[in-house]
Structure 1
Amino acid sequence: MLLATLIHRANLPCPQVGPDQAAQLLEQHYGLTGTLQSLGSQQDLNYKVDSTRGRFVLKICRGDYAAIELQAQHAALDTLQAVRVPKVIKALGGEELLSVTVDGQPLHLRLLDYIDGQPLTHLPHLGRDVIAGFGDLCGRMSLALADFSHPGLDRTLQWDPRHARELITHLLATLENLPHRAALEQVAEQVEQRIRPLADRLPWQAVHMDITDDNVVWQRDAQRHWQLQGVIDFGDLVHTWRIADLSVTCAALLHHAEGDPFAILPAVRACHAVTPLQREELQALWPLIVARAAVLVLSSEQQQRLDPDNTYLLKNAEHEWEIFHVATSVPFELMEAAILGSVGETLSSIASQDFAPLLPGLVGREFALIDLGVLSPHFEAGNWELPGIDRQLLDQAAAVHGLAASRYGQYRLSRTCPDSATEPQTFPLHVELHLPHGTVLEAPFAGTLHQDADGLVSVQGVELSVRLWGVDTRLKHGSLLVEGQVLGEVHGPLTVQLCRADLEPPLFCTPSRALAWQALCPSPAALLGLACDAEPELDPHALLARRDASFARSQKHYYVDPPRIERGWRNHLIDMQGRSYLDMLNNVAVLGHGHPRMAAVAARQWSLLNTNSRFHYAAIAEFSERLLALAPAGMDRVFLVNSGTEANDLAIRLAWAYSGGRDMLSVLEAYHGWSVAADAVSTSIADNPQALSSRPEWVHPVTAPNTYRGEFRGRDSAPDYVRSVEHNLAKIVASKRQLAGFICEPVYGNAGGISLPPGYLQQVYGLVRAQGGVCIADEVQVGYGRMGHFFWGFEEQGVVPDIITMAKGMGNGQPLGAVITRREIAEALEAEGYFFSSSGGSPVSCRIGMAVLDVMEEEKLWENAQVVGGHFKARLEALIDRHPLVGAVHGSGFYLGLELVRDRQTLEPATEETTLLCDRLRELGIFMQPTGDYLNILKIKPPMVTSKRSVDFFVDMLSKVLDEQL
């Protein structure tokens, strides 16, 4: 009877009721008229109704379903308080449920109110917060329905996982694709084996059974985060295992997982936090998810045969097969361990037993344990990218010490993957040993010998297997072994892996899967008699808490939950788990990170001398001459300091000393540093929310010449913006004060690299000089060749300033800044007293500064900024036609800005979207941060060694994320 009912219901097609017929039913029974839109369904028919009385959903299902089943759904809707659900609208006669016949089809008719929002089925990616939201909803729904009962819940439903095996067996017989049939048959058997011993211990209750991306609606809030609006369908309500609800939800989430089944874990944690799940439920969860995936694809195939014109079915079929492929891509044992571990359940150890020694002849011998981790001193100048470097280092150690071994669980730097959107497999689930040839191996426990064509020799015991590569054995495949029996001899590097019997684990796994795999593939240290486990890493959250407890919190860090970065190479930064992040915002490291020349020059000079500039040494003269050679003719004096703030502060002092005045013109929205003087001329509200209301009287901000979103637009807007300068100069003259100078970035850096309107600086510099002031070009961010076609930003405007300030890239991370000016300006400061910076212009800083210039020339980094930077901007500009959120691309070379707007006419800043985009890019392996007063501009200032490959990766990922935000 059960199977017959399942087969009958699985074979039911969707009711055949067209929009016109549905409209007649609506008017006849509910007195409503309006516009109808099909919402799609597998076996039911749902129409969205827009009428003058509001929005509703007309639900039509076949009369094969008993009325009491639908009445149970209505009763549940009336019961729920903690979750927003639709209300049942009564018909003209007062009925909540109508039975009608249309074209000979017995049907049930219902009307529910419509919950505004949208399902998230169309989104390829869901954030962890949304995934957790689904899990939280599952938990709340379980709590709300825990005491709900109704005779209509005792129904035979094809989606009830208790009947999955029977339904799969029946539907398989109709499946024509033989490979699919074989895969599904195997899955059904595996699920059955795992569920059978747990079934009697699983709690029962009323279960919604359809909390999925189709049936839950959401809306974005003001911060562009998705917020739950309600659950819109209760058609699968049934009395069954409580854990079935979460299994349905998690299965639906797999088509948003981008191939990673571990993506469901936030949902599991969130559900468990609301409704604590029994261990047996957690163990049953993944098999039920796999069963759900199998039922989905088989039911879809069946429905498509019954209803080939149903576009809803065709659209969902691809998602359902994706769910199945993701669900079957990993071992059941791995997902059980991951699920248990995600909620803090103890993972049973499989390595606690005693072993006979695998290498009895080496017991007590000392091994050289080689550090292959992220901070290993063996790795420098990118040599970890060389093929076979780990084995080479082990070989070298064995040649010196006789015995060498790697560490189990030490994240391998050599396996990092630059320009990759997914985390690399850096966690070793094995130990590699380099031993004398002929070293004898013995079975650590009784078992069966297995040999594979790839050189794998394994001993499979009752609970455990030891897997070995690099063993020469004379034993035959299938030989029965006793503990201590000779296996063979070492004939090369020996790889040892311990794991649960019948598993075929990888040699490496990703960091996110490490905890689960460790439960199944523990360290082989016990059978080796060797303390070869990796040293425990500092907990990153505890380390961040230590930072916050001791380091002033006004000194912010990137990201809420930042990765711990301890190494860099070229244009990538590497975390402690070996993941590489593309650095797209670090304009300090113009040569990239970890440059060997910088390390060598710094080490050499430190070994000789580092002192202050009052001593006589060659480096300070040589570096000053190099800087002057880069400056315009007539500039002949250099001051060396430690930062851009110091450089701008000193430039203001020079302006004061030379002009005899104190009043300064600065540009609104600009940032020049944190010292008293540099902060005074900074008006960026992103850096200082009180900037506009806290300027001293000697600072006169002029209108920002922003040609994209400023008061005046376009390249011919210079005269309009100059009027603001004229107005402020007139006020200074009227107050009988002396102008000291004008400070401005020649390219509008804080706004994302916007070029000033042509002619702007020529006119402003003329006005300022006519009033006895000096013109300061703040090149801290934009200068030093980053723009590609120009070494200095002011060259784009065709002007020569009186003072140039620079820093950031000058030292490639070494604190180094400079001010270049004319002799008479420099001497004006001397008349007021000496200038001295303890470490400004130190021998180490000067040598590093010269090395930066040398490398930039030798590696043709200015040319790279032109060529690759030009390609970069072209690719970014191509996004404008594809993504409405992209308003404009600013800048040139490797100083670019991508401005995001919600409306290209009003230029409403897409501030919240930009924040979400940067967070998502980090998940995809890219560091990016917003800039500008509205924080809606991507600040793109990568190291100047950035390659075309990295640029293409960045733009591809950026486009992907913009697609996801629709």
Structure 2
Amino acid sequence: MTNDALLQRIETPRPDVTAGEAAAILETFYGLRGEIVELGSQQDRNYRISSEEGRFVLKICRSDYATVELEAQNAAMLHISGKQGAPRVPLPRRARNGDDILFLAVGGVDYQVRLLSYLDGEPLTRRKHLSRPVVEGLGALAARVALHLADFSHPGLEREVQWDLRRAGPVALKLLSAVSDQARRDRIAKVMVAAVKRLQPLAPELRVQPIHHDITDDNVVARPDAHGRMIADGVIDFGDIVHGWLAADLAVTCASLLHHADGDPFYILPCIRAFHAIHPLTEAEARALWPLIVARAAILAASGEMQLSIDPDNTYVQDNLAHEREIFELAARTPHALMETAILEALGLPVEELALPEMGPLLPGIQPEAVRFADFTVTSRGLVRDNWASPQTELKLLEQAARETGIAIARYGEHRLTRTELLSPREPESVALHLAICLPAGFQAAAPFAGRIERDGQRTVLVGAGLALHLEGLDAAHESGLPVEAGEPIGTVSGEAGRFGHLAVQLSVGGGFVPPLFSTPSHAAAWKRLSPSPSLLLGLDCDAPPLEGDRVLARRHASFAQVQKNYYRDPPQIERGWREFMFDTRGRAYVDMLNNVAIAGHGHPRLAEAAGHQWSLLNTNSRFHYAGIADFSERLASLAPEGLDTVLLVNSGSEAVDLALRLAWAWSGAKNIVSLLEAYHGWTVASDAVSTSIADNPAALTTRPAWVHPVVSPNTYRGPYRGPDSAPAYAAHVRQALELLDVKGEKLAGFICETVYGNAGGIALPNGYLAEVYAMIRQRGGLCIADEVQVGYGRLGHSFWGFEQQGVVPDIITVAKGMGNGHPLGAVITRREVADALEREGYFFSSAGGSPVSCAIGMTVLDIMEDEGLQENARIVGDHLKARLESLCQRHALAGAVHGMGLYLGLEFVRDRNTLAPATQETAAICDRLLDFGILMQPTGDHLNVLKIKPPLCLTVEAADFFVDMLDRVLSDGW
């Protein structure tokens, strides 16, 4: 085909064939009748028919296309289908006359017609977010198709099509004529020229073979896996198959992913790695990959405009135009050098290192021993309370350090907490790619190497041979464009005489881009190749030590028992918190939506001061006499109902439950305890015995000791009896258990349950349940234990204790979690005579539970809760949060129900709202996706299908809204 014919084909509209005419063709020539639906296409007409024989696609193209090209497409599909492990592909179906391709005239115009089998599944383009396994799967699929086509040959492959990236330059010129916006046209042209310029020296080394050349999110079909993620396993539309560059085949796939990338070009790297693992790329192909992606993006952007000018009613083109522009914008603004480096590193291929020349000192007057380093990392002692949030903190701390000796430096490569972003779904640009130096204004800088001075906005740039020095905060001594020699003065540090100035120092290699001062952590390794450390210019090591998150995790696993699990497969290393936020060592902020331990919030200064002050005075065990234990015990007793006047202090909720059970045994002289199924109460021998959650212990139901009598849990959402008025039905199960004990002549020690069904996500007990059950228990001499470890202590907002929702008073209250805001502290509150019964077994004390420091912390937590109105905040923010979560249930079928109240909530995910089949895998994947957005969340419940929403009680409405907005985004875009 000549270039003129190629350019003429570019301007070809779709065939003018209606659905009715397509139906007539199908019935007349293929004997098929059924529902007809038009499918999208840029230059063909495609109709799907659902017939008694199955579903098929009628493809109609203009006669301009050489028949041999269509024959090549059919042959390629048959070729792939015969390969072992081949993906699903459409297969041609012959017409009644035995032909694979029909030549028909419709409305006086000649067309070529084929019928292909239809592949069930969903195109990935409909999913905004594609998870990493899906992206990897797409790369693997593209590689397998390329391998299957490697030994395919057909004369119809020698063709010229507008999508062949070997002809991207001339095709783009033709397409650009249809772009009416001159600025946009010029930008696309500029981007294309830059891409072609980088491709030209690599082109002779690029392998050529038969390629599909259109394995995109639009041309693969996928089906859900067990996690609800879409896994691509079928390839359609062989219309662009050609003898072309292998690297271009992968480039087309990667380009299609960019509109799923949420602005991050590195999103495509798993796809590239997966392709390379199956069909290895050469170094030249890896270097060519990004320019090919950019060229594809430019062709897409221009082609869409061209096709709409020809065929303005083409809804397929209209629908694609927005994401094609998104693809182009991301490709256009990403430096070629950055992506080339990232791709080579991802594939383990050599990255060209520019050997830095010998360089003189930038600041000749500096004495290394006079330098002080400022610390802006997450563990910095200079960052206190929330001063990291102030834009002036870095300057203040640098100047504070500089006052000691005259010069202070913030390190290159440091992950700065001062650059974090709260309530942001994106990781912050927190990694410094420069040195920030504070030194006296007027300090003279010299050229460390010979070059040419250029001004770039606020920057002074010394451009050398393949190397550039970027300086901000310098009063340049030379005009732009003038050459300077090594050692020659180039300017002085800006600022008023007698005061400090601030100089940013940065290097870049290769040219053609201006590096940012900061990078995101995920891009930092590639950027550091292009913007290396300027430490050499100062003659001392100014580099931040590398993060050791993986090494620390390995050390944890080596010395810390594996049974003590950590959240997430690839957990962030959290080293700081503030209010409802937690921060990792990379400078990322996370909204803590699950940490019910930090009830008053993280990093509370009053708690730090109280603990430090008391520790400076005294810390010992509770058998000594000191005021704190009397104050705290009295305060706790005052929070309980009248009659519950005696406190025992321990270290944790597990110990509190264990002690409560011992009290019941001692009081009653019996050991039998009635508990609930699906409950979790702790890890000690006794508290574990009454725990029946199979999520925490898969063998729980078969390993309970004989003195534990679990009964059906009053789960009003998915239990055998539904709704708030199901108490009599559930209480009947307790009665049956008690009657069995009566028949055996065994006495009862007590009954234990959470007063809101916490392990299931905060489900309210049915109305009157505890009143009915407590009466039965007390009738038999047993004690009623209210486990308030998770649900009590103001977290419900509407009441301080969970049992208040049921209008009952227990005999024993167990509490822990938020009591110490993370300090090990728990308590049992009961009547004096119940506590005294324990003396028959000997005396009791807990070394740390009632220590002076523990008591000071416990008192301070209660003071903070009162002074800051945290219970009221839990009610207000919790009600707002619950209403917003309930709105998600109206829009997303997966969101089955919202449980709980205040800031103890649970969102339950189900695959079917009738059967309530738990969406366990989906819940895990959703939690992982929320982590990407900066939200800490984990599943709970026996089926691990409930989000356990238990944030600090200082949670703001803004943070709650961010959580729901991100959750809505996950449910809408996928996980």
Fold conserved (TM > 0.5)?
Answer: yes
3-state secondary structure, aligned to 1:747? coil
Deviation of the 1:175 alpha carbon: 2.0
3-state secondary structure, aligned to 2:126? coil
Matching residue of 2:692: 683
| Residues 1:867 and 2:870 are matched in the alignment | no
In 2, distance between residues paired with 1:672 and 1:38? 58
| Residues 1:100 and 2:104 are matched in the alignment | yes
Distance 1:351 1:424, change over 3 A: farther
Which of these residues, 406, 411, 419, is aligned with residue 410 of structure 2? Answer: 406
Instruction: Report matched runs for 1:318-337 at 5 Å.
Output: 318-337=322-341
Q: Which amino acid aligns with 1:527?
A: L
Deviation of the 1:960 alpha carbon: 0.8
3-state secondary structure, aligned to 1:50? strand
In 1, distance between residues paired with 2:232 and 2:302? 30
Matching residue of 1:837: 846
| Residues 1:762 and 2:771 are matched in the alignment | yes
Which of these residues, 287, 293, 302, is aligned with residue 298 of structure 1? Answer: 302
Query: After alignment, is 413-422 or 828-837 more displaced?
Result: 828-837
Instruction: Report matched runs for 1:746-757 at 5 Å.
Output: 746-757=755-766
Query: After alignment, is 948-957 or 554-563 more displaced?
Result: 554-563
Matching residue of 1:22: 22
Matching residue of 2:673: 664
8 A contact 2:172–2:299 mirrored in 1? yes
Deviation of the 1:892 alpha carbon: 1.2
8 A contact 1:363–1:529 mirrored in 2? no
Deviation of the 1:103 alpha carbon: 2.0
Query: After alignment, is 232-241 or 69-78 more displaced?
Result: 69-78
Aligned residues: 964
In 2, distance between residues paired with 1:626 and 1:721? 36
Matching residue of 2:129: 125
| Residues 1:827 and 2:836 are matched in the alignment | yes
Q: Which amino acid aligns with 1:536?
A: P
Query: After alignment, is 21-30 or 161-170 more displaced?
Result: 21-30
Matching residue of 1:65: 65
In 1, distance between residues paired with 2:748 and 2:247? 75
Matching residue of 1:504: 514
8 A contact 1:658–1:825 mirrored in 2? yes
In 1, distance between residues paired with 2:46 and 2:208? 30
Matching residue of 2:267: 263
Matching residue of 1:619: 628
Deviation of the 1:364 alpha carbon: 4.7
| Residues 1:459 and 2:462 are matched in the alignment | yes
3-state secondary structure, aligned to 2:893? coil
In 2, distance between residues paired with 1:858 and 1:379? 25
Which of these residues, 564, 567, 570, is aligned with residue 558 of structure 1? Answer: 567
| Residues 1:220 and 2:224 are matched in the alignment | yes
8 A contact 1:3–1:167 mirrored in 2? no
8 A contact 2:131–2:229 mirrored in 1? no
Q: Normalising to structure 2: TM-score of the pair? A: 0.97
Instruction: Report matched runs for 1:311-390 at 5 Å.
Output: 311-350=315-354, 352-362=356-366, 364=368, 366-390=370-394
Q: Which runs of 4+ in 1 moved over 4 A?
A: none
In 2, distance between residues paired with 1:690 and 1:815? 28
Matching residue of 1:396: 400
Deviation of the 1:847 alpha carbon: 1.4
In 1, distance between residues paired with 2:630 and 2:729? 44
| Residues 1:610 and 2:609 are matched in the alignment | no
Deviation of the 1:363 alpha carbon: 5.6
8 A contact 2:128–2:974 mirrored in 1? no
Q: Which amino acid aligns with 2:285?
A: E
Instruction: Report matched runs for 1:735-884 at 5 Å.
Output: 735-884=744-893
| Residues 1:581 and 2:584 are matched in the alignment | no
Q: For each residue in 1:479-529, what CA deviation from the matched residue of structure 2 results, as whole angstroms up to 9, or x when unmatched?
A: 122222211111221111111334222111111110111111111111222
Which of these residues, 236, 250, 255, is aligned with residue 254 of structure 2? Answer: 250
In 1, distance between residues paired with 2:62 and 2:331? 32
Q: Which amino acid aligns with 1:611?
A: T
Matching residue of 2:37: 37
Q: Which amino acid aligns with 2:724?
A: R
In 2, distance between residues paired with 1:818 and 1:122? 53
Deviation of the 1:365 alpha carbon: 5.1
8 A contact 1:115–1:229 mirrored in 2? no
Which of these residues, 869, 893, 903, is aligned with residue 894 of structure 1? Answer: 903
Q: For each residue in 1:844-864, what CA deviation from the matched residue of structure 2 results, as whole angstroms up to 9, or x when unmatched?
A: 211111111111112221121
Deviation of the 1:325 alpha carbon: 0.9
Instruction: Report matched runs for 1:181-260 at 5 Å.
Output: 181-260=185-264
3-state secondary structure, aligned to 1:794? helix
Query: After alignment, is 915-924 or 854-863 more displaced?
Result: 854-863
Structure 2 unaligned regions, length at least 5: 495-500
Q: For each residue in 1:288-308, what CA deviation from the matched residue of structure 2 results, as whole angstroms up to 9, or x when unmatched?
A: 111111111211111112111
8 A contact 1:348–1:519 mirrored in 2? no
In 2, distance between residues paired with 1:668 and 1:680? 12
Q: Which amino acid aligns with 2:15?
A: P
Q: Which amino acid aligns with 1:646?
A: E
Q: Normalising to structure 1: TM-score of the pair? A: 0.98
Distance 1:351 1:844, change over 3 A: farther
| Residues 1:598 and 2:628 are matched in the alignment | no
3-state secondary structure, aligned to 2:124? coil
Matching residue of 2:482: 479
Deviation of the 1:866 alpha carbon: 1.6
In 2, distance between residues paired with 1:767 and 1:543? 53
8 A contact 1:666–1:700 mirrored in 2? yes
Query: After alignment, is 444-453 or 576-585 more displaced?
Result: 444-453
3-state secondary structure, aligned to 1:493? strand
Q: Which amino acid aligns with 1:280?
A: A
Query: After alignment, is 159-168 or 593-602 more displaced?
Result: 593-602
8 A contact 2:788–2:814 mirrored in 1? yes
| Residues 1:516 and 2:526 are matched in the alignment | yes
Q: Which amino acid aligns with 1:28?
A: T
Query: After alignment, is 798-807 or 330-339 more displaced?
Result: 330-339
Deviation of the 1:390 alpha carbon: 1.1
Q: For each residue in 1:901-922, what CA deviation from the matched residue of structure 2 results, as whole angstroms up to 9, or x when unmatched?
A: 2232332222222122111111
| Residues 1:527 and 2:530 are matched in the alignment | no
3-state secondary structure, aligned to 1:578? coil
In 2, distance between residues paired with 1:548 and 1:452? 50
8 A contact 1:116–1:229 mirrored in 2? no
Q: For each residue in 1:689-748, what CA deviation from the matched residue of structure 2 results, as whole angstroms up to 9, or x when unmatched?
A: 222222222211122112222221222211221111111111111110001101011111
In 2, distance between residues paired with 1:388 and 1:896? 38
Q: Which amino acid aligns with 1:845?
A: S
Which of these residues, 409, 422, 428, is aligned with residue 424 of structure 1? Answer: 428
8 A contact 1:218–1:228 mirrored in 2? yes
8 A contact 1:666–1:699 mirrored in 2? yes
Instruction: Report matched runs for 1:85-96 at 5 Å.
Output: 85-96=89-100
Matching residue of 2:498: none
Structure 1 unaligned regions, length at least 5: none
